[in-house]
Amino acid sequence: MYNVWNNVLAEIEQKVSAANYTTWFKDTTLLQNEDGNIIIGVKNSFLVKQLRTKFLDLIINALKNNDIEVKNIDFEVQSAGKSKVRSREVLSTPTPIKNHLKSHQTTTSHQTLKPEYTMENFIVGSNNDLAVAAAKSIIDAPGTRFNPFFLYGGPGLGKTHLVQAIGNALLSKNPDYKILYTPISDFYSDFIDSVRKGKGNEFHNKFQKLDCLIIDDFQFIVNKEKSQEEFFNIFNSLYQLGKQIIVTSDRLPNQIKTVDERLSTRLAMAGAFDLQLPKFEDRCAILRAKAELLDAEIEDEAIEYIAENISTNIRDLEGELSTILLMSDVRHMTPLELIRNGSATINRSSKHHTVSSKQVVEKVAHYYNLTPKEMCGKSRVANIKNARQITMYLLSKELSMSTTKIAAEVGVKDHTTVMHGIGKIEKDLKINFILRDQIEEIKEKIYG
Amino acid sequence: MEIEVTQEKLSKALNNVSRVAVGKVTLPILNNVLIRVEKNKISLVTTNLDMAVVDFLPVSESKDGTITVPARLLAEFISTLPKGETIKLSSKDDKITISAGKYSSIINGTPADDFPELPEIDEKTAVVFKMGVEEFKNSINQVIIASSNDLTRPALTGVYFNTYDNILAVASTDGYRLAEKKIIKNVQSEINVIVPTATLQEVLRAINEDMEEIEISFNEDLVRFRLGEVEIISKIIDASFPDYQKLIPKDNNIKITIDREELTRVTKLAALFARRSASGSIILETKKPNILSVRSVASELGENDSNLETEVTEEGKINLNSRFLLDALNVLDEKNITAEFANRISPIILKDKKSTDYTHIIMPLNQ
């Protein structure tokens, strides 16, 4: 019945202007169809009057064209809360086979869920326990408390793994569940395609039928205005139907520039969950679990060595582990022996000694269009101060210089100023993703 | 269509209706005002599909007809014309000609057929209340401050009109504070309806000194406010309001009676020091026999401690958000007010000393 109404709407959409369609018809639902007594659900009483006086004939004709007998049409005003319950009931009625097939075909054109991503092999640590708890509650009851589920974190921390695992778990619970996983880049290229072919409605309808929509790497939607609009529409209609929406990004919603601010506030409506950098213990646990999964043997000491030397992200961690395991296979040595005899030095640590503090100061100053002389000193101008603090941070993290030495290098009073500066950048990094990007770029310049 | 009307009257009417006609990009006609003339009865109508404002304009000369024109443009044009001019509006081929003395202009409009039909209150089944405009305005101002703008909790984004014990009361809460005002006694009908805050703000703006009585009619899913020539019709919020009577604590042994202005002053003083903390936290502490101390929680700015002499029943203290307290003190009415609470984790109740119609409660902060 639900799908029939979509067909009716599709027909109406062709007969009225786009403005009229979005205003009057878009959020309507078919609540009841018993022996020709039809009840249509609408958002508020202002719509009822208009639909009744201006569009009634149109609705009746569209219903008839879809083989629905009409004796009497009634309208019922309903809030989002009510419609949630109602539309579930409606959904449970069997859908015509034709529509079923169609939606499956369209799903497969996308990158789909990979079965190797499961909840079981996602390693829980203090860096991600909240997000995992939320994920589990979504699997138990999709579309309720954590809807939309917004997951953010830096690259290689397991965002894709976690959301795909949710998808897989939902699917194993209920094989009929219609789930679409799509990176946002596929979303907008498909959208552009559908617009070019004049099949915008089809595109929209495809999403309407989903039970769960998973969007990966949402940050790339910046500057794609039409796609944002379309996504916002799809988001709203799915949300109103109580369908689970999952979005991942490398930053918080309010740091993604969207045309419509409502979009970013809505995404964070049920809270934003982050995946943080794993701490040393978490890194060890991840390596151990990964080794177990690969059925490989590795000494604890080797694990600790890797965990200590790689703190960037999980992807690097796993990459290093596989390299070492592969080498140990080829050379018939244990991982620890490889590390001990120096054939498995982790590439990152070797870089550090090749740069001097002068170079760091110069690169940071250059990045912010300052001369090293301008930057080092006591200027309180905000951007200069900020650049200086970033220098302190990098000197401390990358060159492991003492705070006293750093103070002398950047020309501030004493080591407490340096400690404050480093502390501030560390704090900012947790929430300010632009800063994080900048620091990554500076690092590239320093080592590049 | 043709009408003749004074600049003052038309400008006032357009101001009343044009605020609603903004922002809907999807349906451009919603930016327009509908001008409808029928047997010397003229109505100006705007709507944003959540509410509609209708202004009935008394005129001397008219010819029947309808048209819609951009509301903001027309309102600004008319308000810029000199006062005292008689303005003649006439429409022809979807254009409206405005002439007033030496000024004349033409604005492009849209036919009225495309303007949405407005829902109507069914007079037979409607529940109707009437009250003085001034009293209505004061009462709504007293409760609306406690309403929330958190769209994820729709029930809290409005004012709850409800009846109990033959009383009509209005109430709002944002989860941290609650305000209730009993507005009509001895009512026979029963209702419980949440009216959107935005609608009530529009009603408050439409009020002027000439108006005496307001008529409020409720239907199943609509509310209509009638005041003078203005009529505001709005959807109501379809959600259930919390059972707020339960939230008002009954046994409060710590009671303070105090001069409202004095408490306002010391709260403002303490708030200056509390400004840095997100919640503007201040402490109220009673000391026997007759001291109320109001102080800011220690901050890097310094400290502030004021002692007021007042009636106190028991000793105790409570942390409050200073902004919430000032909001409440600002809308209380009498010279002397009472404040009561049981302990530092239960809410504080603020009332006027004599009149008991208005109740304001604030949840305490964790220290």
Environment class of B116 (CB within 10 Å of its CB; exposed 0-12, middle 13-18, buried 19+) = buried
Closest CA to A421 of A407, A436, A439: A407
Could you tell me if A357 and A411 are in contact, meaning their C-beta atoms sit under 8 angstroms apart? Answer: no
Q: What percent of chain A has pLDDT over 90?
A: 3
The answer to whether residue B222 neighbours chain A at the CB level (below 8 Å) is: yes
- The beta strands (E) that lie in A85-198 are given as 149-153, 179-183
Closest CA to A436 of A252, A263, A246: A252
Residues of A in contact with B24 (CB under 8 A): 23
pLDDT of residue B166: 92
Q: What percent of chain A has pLDDT over 70?
A: 89
Helices A382-399 & A403-410 angle (0-180, nearest 10): 140
Q: Inter-chain contact B117–A269, Cβ cutoff 8 Å?
A: no
Identify the residue with better confidence: A376 or B96. Answer: B96
What phi and psi, each to the nearest 5 degrees, are found at residue A68?
-110, 125
Residue of A nearest to B115 (CA): A50
- Element containing residue B320 per DSSP (H, E): strand B316-321
Alpha carbons within 13 angstroms on the beta-carbon side of residue A86 total 20
pLDDT of residue A52: 86
The DSSP call for residue B110 is B
Average pLDDT over residues A295-307: 83
pLDDT of residue A440: 83
The answer to whether residue A17 neighbours chain B at the CB level (below 8 Å) is: no
Average pLDDT over residues A348-361: 66
Could you tell me if B68 and B34 are in contact, meaning their C-beta atoms sit under 8 angstroms apart? Answer: yes
Q: Inter-chain contact A50–B238, Cβ cutoff 8 Å?
A: no
pLDDT of residue A354: 66
- Would you list the DSSP string of A146-162? T-SEEEEE-TTSSHHHH
Average pLDDT over residues A102-124: 62
- The beta strands (E) that lie in A65-209 are given as 72-77, 149-153, 179-183
pLDDT in tens, A252-264: 887 787 767 788 8
The answer to whether residue A54 neighbours chain B at the CB level (below 8 Å) is: yes
CA of residue B133 relative to chain centroid, distance: 12
Amino acid at A440: E
Chain A interface, mutation test: which of B24, B26, B31, most A Cβ atoms within 10 Å? B26
Rounded-to-integer distance, Cα A369 and Cα A385, Å: 13
- On the question of a cis peptide bond just before residue B289, with omega within 30 degrees of 0, the verdict is yes
Q: Which residues of chain B have pLDDT under 70?
A: 23-25, 276-279, 298-299, 367
pLDDT of residue B147: 93
Closest CA to B66 of B105, B89, B34: B34
**Tokens (6 digits) for A102:** 């169609």
Closest CA to B30 of B9, B7, B12, B48: B48
Check whether A84 has a pLDDT greater than 70.
Answer: no
Q: How many helices, marked H, and strands, marked E, lie in chain A?
A: 23, 8
Amino acid at A112: T
pLDDT in tens, A34-77: 888 888 888 888 888 888 888 888 888 888 888 888 888 888 88
Check whether A90 has a pLDDT greater than 50.
Answer: no
Closest CA to A367 of A351, A348, A391: A391
Residue of A nearest to B26 (CA): A19
A56 Cα to chain B: minimum distance (Å): 13
Check whether A83 has a pLDDT greater than 90.
Answer: no
Domains and their CATH numbers in chain B: 2-114 (3.10.150.10), 127-246 (3.10.150.10), 249-362 (3.10.150.10)
Q: Inter-chain contact A49–B120, Cβ cutoff 8 Å?
A: yes
A81 Cα to chain B: minimum distance (Å): 8
**Tokens (6 digits) for A168:** 């897989």
Residues of B in contact with A82 (CB under 8 A): 238
Chain B interface, mutation test: which of A46, A56, A239, most B Cβ atoms within 10 Å? A46
Predicted-complex ipTM score = 0.71
Q: Which of B117, B154, B237 sits opposite A49 (nearest CB)?
A: B117
**Tokens (6 digits) for B250:** 């009954």
Identify the residue with better confidence: A344 or B254. Answer: B254
The DSSP call for residue A75 is E
Closest CA to B268 of B290, B294, B302: B294
Residue of B nearest to A50 (CA): B117
pLDDT of residue B277: 65
- State how beta strands A72-77 and B103-108 pair: unpaired
Could you tell me if A178 and A212 are in contact, meaning their C-beta atoms sit under 8 angstroms apart? Answer: yes
Q: Which of B26, B119, B154 sits opposite A45 (nearest CB)?
A: B119
pLDDT in tens, A155-175: 888 888 899 999 889 888 888
Check whether A94 has a pLDDT greater than 80.
Answer: no
Residues facing A47 on adjacent strands: none
Q: Which of B27, B222, B239 sits opposite A23 (nearest CB)?
A: B27
- In this structure, the dihedral spanned by the alpha carbons of residues A418, A421, A423 and A426, taken in order and rounded to 10 degrees, is -130
Q: Inter-chain contact A45–B116, Cβ cutoff 8 Å?
A: no
Residues A212-240, buried b or exposed e (16+ Cβ, 10 A)? bbbbbbbbbbeebeebbebbbebbbebbb
Given pLDDT bands bounded at 50, 70 and 90, which one contains residue A414?
confident
Q: Which of B26, B47, B237 sits opposite A46 (nearest CB)?
A: B47
